[in-house]
Amino acid sequence: MKLKLLLFVGFIAGIGFSQAQGLPTNPEPGKCYVKCITKDTFKEVEETIQTYPAYTTLNVIPATYKTVEEKVLVKEATKKLVYVPATYETVEIPYVKQASRTDLKVVPATFGNDSRTFEVYPKTSGWEYKILEDCPSVNKDDCVAACFVEYPAQSKDVGFTTLSADASTNSIPVPEQSTSYKKRVIKTPARMDEIEIPAEYTTIKRRVIDTPASTTTNTIAAQYQTVTRTILDKKGGITTWEEVDCELLDPNVLPVFYELGSARLTSASKKTIDDTLLPMLSDSNVSIEIMSHTDSRGNDDFNQSLSQQRANSVVNYLVSKGINRSRLTARGFGETRLTNRCSNGSDCSEAQHQKNRRTEFRVLSN
């Protein structure tokens, strides 16, 4: 009688504890349950900003000249006297050899720098479960604590260039070039008999402006950059408990293997995912962790990166099948968790190395 009373009291206490912890009220023996928490969902928005302003450039087209010929008088007509010939004197006659012009010098545009701060990830918060250390109970669920955690928003500074002063020109005057030619003129006329002496001419060449200097304008278009920001789309929260196979809580090897140095999913690997993970994720709200590994050959850092790529390949494939990315976690372990003795420098067959190039999954209590 005393034993039955103790069992009854223990049963009542267990029910009270389950209700206090929010655990399933009617659990079945030998079954495992995970608390499904709907995670926050986010979406990306794009915003276009000007990173470089529009401006103009100027090209100077120099003035052009042409050469013209001009007939000029170098000796006037006169008369020659038989007895007293005429006398002459030479004078300098100036003329413009090259006309004046105005050259243009380009003053380039000047620029400045500025920046703008954008929020690229919002402030988030949610529940997280932690197992307390030094739990005295065999059942670790007795020591589970729910913590409300808040993460601050993340910002990013984006620099851009501003136009301080646009391009312009300065005028540079170039003076004309002058010279002269010599001319003989009568100083004293002839006397007595007069003999006609005809005038004398010569041809001179001079350069004159054909087309004046000018400029052409070229407009440089502004440059823009698209900034992608992640914002909160839907707030998550605690939902219900999901019954799962207890074996799914421990790492389970998927028969998904990779070629050496590759993270590509083969058609056979995709079929394995379709038959194993996709039905479980479609029929419940549980979250899973994808864990990928490499063999020991190659550089350790490369293997770590490769294993993360392999885990990402499985997650991306599931997302393409309609599974929410917030329910999937991808982790790469490189060559840190080998399943056999094939570590660095070991003599192993290709089949033994391939066993280490594996992907595992397990159900998470999120």
**How far is it, in rounded angstroms, from Cα 62 to Cα 104?**
8
Phi, psi of 23 (to 5 degrees): -80, 165
pLDDT at 100: 87
pLDDT at 24: 60
Other CB atoms within a 10 A radius of the CB of residue 311 amount to 24
Largest CA distance in the chain: 178
pTM: 0.38
The one-letter code for the residue type at 223 is Q
For residues 96 and 178, is the Cβ–Cβ distance under 8 A?
yes
Written as tens digits, the pLDDT of the chain (366 aa) is: 333 333 333 333 344 444 445 566 666 665 554 555 555 566 778 888 888 898 888 889 998 999 999 889 989 988 877 788 888 899 988 988 888 888 888 888 888 888 888 787 888 887 777 776 666 666 766 676 667 778 888 888 888 788 888 888 888 898 988 898 899 988 888 888 778 889 899 999 988 898 998 888 888 988 888 888 777 776 655 555 555 455 444 466 777 767 767 888 888 888 988 998 888 888 777 888 898 888 888 888 998 998 899 899 999 999 999 988 888 889 999 888 888 888 888 889 888 888 888 888 887 754
pLDDT at 67: 92
pLDDT at 298: 82
Spatial neighbors of 303 by CB under 8 A, at least 6 apart, are 294, 295, 296, 334, 335
**How far is it, in rounded angstroms, from Cα 328 to Cα 318?**
9
pLDDT at 280: 83
pLDDT at 16: 42
Phi, psi of 223 (to 5 degrees): -110, 140
pLDDT at 272: 87
Take residue 217 and report the two structure tokens written for it: 């304008």
Q: Domains along the chain?
A: 55-109+166-220 (no CATH), 241-366 (3.30.1330.60)
Strand, helix or coil for residue 268: helix
**How far is it, in rounded angstroms, from Cα 295 to Cα 305?**
13
pLDDT at 212: 92
Which of 24, 51, 33 lies closest to 226, judged by CA?
51
Q: Give the burial class of 199: count Cβ atoms within 10 A of its Cβ; 0-12 exposed, 13-18 middle, 19 or more buried.
A: exposed
**How far is it, in rounded angstroms, from Cα 20 to Cα 12?**
12
pLDDT at 97: 83
**How far is it, in rounded angstroms, from Cα 216 to Cα 166?**
15
The terminus-to-terminus CA distance of the chain in angstroms comes to: 42
Take residue 202 and report the two structure tokens written for it: 């010569």
Q: Give the burial class of 258: count Cβ atoms within 10 A of its Cβ; 0-12 exposed, 13-18 middle, 19 or more buried.
A: buried
